[in-house]
Chain A
Amino acid sequence: MTVIRSDDNLEAGIADRTEVRLAGEGGQGMILAGIILAEAATIYGGQNAVQSQSYGPEARGGASKSEVVISPGEIDHPEVLLPDVVVALSQEAFKKFGSSIKPGGLLIVDADKVDSASSPKAIRLPITKMAFETTGRIITANTVALGVLVGLTGVVTRTAIEKAIIARAPRGTEEMNHKALDAGFAAAEIVTKKLP
């Protein structure tokens, strides 16, 4: 019915794709974090993105992951092939989803939840504790994680992720989410200074 020739577009979605994997316990909001990242990339960032997820049968607990593939152009294979970035907020999620990563890729783990022996090369930050200390609510850990992730990678702009988070924040929690995001960015800045 339709015949096309896409020879001139071989890079799109292949060489220029960034693959992000967000993993945690069910209920930690990592699937929502993936959705927000994808909205930051697309609605507020003018890029293309595909977000997908997998989780166990449990509504809470268990390990879940959310994946976001971001590209300026079309995205074909919709799932992460080998992630550029992995964020893991629990030991089980790290074990299940954190083992493979692109050479030179970035691994971010919650320092209090994922043991150091199993993740020697990771950037270790007390993400959940930071969330609690900043907002009094550990539920904002996913927002802190997004701040760290975007601060370290620039995969979307700070403005885009801010807009995406505020658009998704339940009414009355905008300021709390803002603070959590800022905490994440601040941590990223410190890490960047320490990195060689």
Chain B
Amino acid sequence: MDETILEAHSLEAGEGLIPQANWFELSETLQKLRKNKKFPTIWCSGCGIGVVMGALIRAIDHLGLDNDQVALVAGIGCTARMPVYMDFNTLHTTHGRALAFATGLKIARPDMKVIAIMGDGDALAIGGNHFIHAARRNLGITALVVNNSIYGMTGGQYSPTTPLGGRATTAPYGNIEPPFPICDLAVAAGATYVARSTVYHALELDKYLAEAISRDGFSVIEAVSYCHTTYGRLNKLGTAADMMRSLKDNSIPQSALDRLTPEEKAANTKIVRGKFIDTPRPQYTQVYSNLITRVQGGEL
């Protein structure tokens, strides 16, 4: 399905082989794409970000949300270009600040579903402070972090999630900084729904995204992706298809991990896919709304 979207989109924009009127009739889901957007995505062919976009659209569609009800807020980077292609209220902000803009928007419009879309550098390096504080407040935002472990748009510099030893244009001898475990960080900072999957497991992403968006509090989805154009090339990891395949081979569901012996668990180096927390606590805008009621009622 995702490939269909991307293929149709880029063909329409690039060569006009498929008439616009037709491909928008392909499915209900595609109605969430912008009809008046006339250029191909900026993503390299084979990139995993399009898969995440497909998952997001299907999740929103599955929840039956009205397009007007949804706001997508992005920072800067390859991933952050995602909202422009989708027919919601879309906000492309400054690097690292998606969650800070989203904070104002959510407080102004608590009724809206606000989804912040960020890459790993955007969310955790320049935006790391906003990430932990949005989690701490349990503000009703879904943070979708597409983790390709590199700064793609600027050409392959190491990010806070680049694996130890991984080569990048600014780590020519291999990365010496340990990476952030995004989901652990989110749980520790107070997020109330946290899950991880990969762009190979697209339907799993759909499911987790739909759940995250349906929750009231601060939810985090880590969508593990790859960048064959920079990281893959610098580390000789093969084509996009090779890297996609390695997400299949090198990931393990939490349920399977749970069945391993403690020794095996400790030795696991695979990406763990699963839901790590799903425990509600008071959501910020609701708490503030109660505060207003009490102040206005003379109680405070």
- Given a CB threshold of 8 Å, the question of whether A touches B is answered with no
Residues of A within 8 A of B (CB): none
